[in-house]
Amino acid sequence: GIQVEQSPPDLILQEGANSTLRCNFSDSVNNLQWFHQNPWGQLINLFYIPSGTKQNGRLSATTVATERYSLLYISSSQTTDSGVYFCAVDNYGQNFVFGPGTRLSVLP
């Protein structure tokens, strides 16, 4: 089956810094989604982005499906950005395959 890798596995930032999270996948996909899991365990939809670029406030994402990767950019990070960021891809099936996540800690 399709493999999903995320890097880095862990990231520590000072408040105000910028960061880039990466998601690589091993096969063609037609859908991709980024989630933020907050420290209370809630999964929050960030982007539904099978291709192209989207922006929402301080966050933006770019997916290049032909090269099998997606990037999530966080600018001017805040402590509330802490948590785990997952990407999930749909490999033409009926469900998503999740990556292992990037754990982000933003320090005040």
Partner 1 sequence: NAGVTQTPKFRVLKTGQSMTLLCAQDMNHEYMYWYRQDPGMGLRLIHYSVGEGTTAKGEVPDGYNVSRLKKQNFLLGLESAAPSQTSVYFCASSPPGLAVNEQFFGPGTRLTVL
Nearest approach, Cβ of residue 60 and partner 1 (Å)? 17
Q: Is 35 in the site for partner 1 (CB under 8 A)?
A: yes
Nearest approach, Cβ of residue 80 and partner 1 (Å)? 18
The residue among 75 and 90 lying less far from partner 1, judged by its C-beta, is 90
The residue among 16 and 100 lying less far from partner 1, judged by its C-beta, is 100
- How many other CB atoms are found less than 10 A from the CB of residue 63? 26
Q: Which amino acid is at 72?
A: L
In the 3-class helix/strand/coil scheme, how is 55-91 assigned residue by residue? EECCEEEEEEHHHCEEEEEECCCCHHHCEEEEEEEEC
The residue among 3 and 78 lying less far from partner 1, judged by its C-beta, is 3
Place of tokens 């320090």: 107
The residue among 39 and 93 lying less far from partner 1, judged by its C-beta, is 93
Give the integer Cα–Cα distance in Å for 14 and 108: 6
Count of residues that bind partner 1 according to CB under 8 A: 22
Give the integer Cα–Cα distance in Å for 11 and 102: 7
What is the contact surface with partner 1 in residues (CB under 8 A)?
4, 30-31, 33, 35, 41-43, 45, 48, 86, 88, 90, 92-96, 98-101
